[in-house]
Amino acid sequence: MAEEKVEELLSKMINESMGMLNIITFAWRDGIPVAYVAPSSAEAEFMTVASAAALGSLDSLSDVMGSKLKRIDVEFENGEHIIISVLNGSFIAVSTAPKPNLGFIHLILRKYERLIKKISGVGHVNPKEVSKNPG
């Protein structure tokens, strides 16, 4: 159920991008895809696994910098970008068309990140919702 709602949000992101987003995936940090919108499942799975590997490699840099990794933007020679947005134990990865409006793409990501976190259950638990008697 949550996966379907996340996929609906990913579809809205693709539609709002006005052709600037080609692939979008939401996955757990270990690379297990939860939902995606892509021309094929193979493309979505490949992007998800490659994005998880990139995040794993860059985590060591965040230790050196003394700050958590938030977003990665990789630009290719043809002007396309892969943008990975980290969400507490999960991530959203998008593939863009060549030379997209990056400010607009980042606005779309920020707009939907909170909703995706809420629907998928990632992020911080509200202390008021935790039982005082877990037994």
Q: What is the pLDDT of residues 8-54, one digit of tens each?
A: 999 999 999 999 999 999 999 999 999 999 999 999 999 999 999 99
> What is the distance between the alpha carbons of residues 58 and 79, in angstroms, rounded to a whole number?
22
Query: Residue 125 has what pLDDT?
Result: 46
- Domain contains 126: no
Q: How many independent structural domains does the chain possess?
A: 1
More confident residue, 62 or 115: 115
- Domain contains 128: no
What is the domain range of residue 7?
A: 2-118
Say which CATH number the domain at 40 has: 3.30.450.30
Q: What is the pLDDT of residues 82-132, one digit of tens each?
A: 999 999 889 999 999 999 999 999 999 999 999 998 888 875 444 444 444
- Domain contains 9: yes
Query: Residue 132 has what pLDDT?
Result: 46
Q: Which residue has the tokens 């990789």?
A: 74
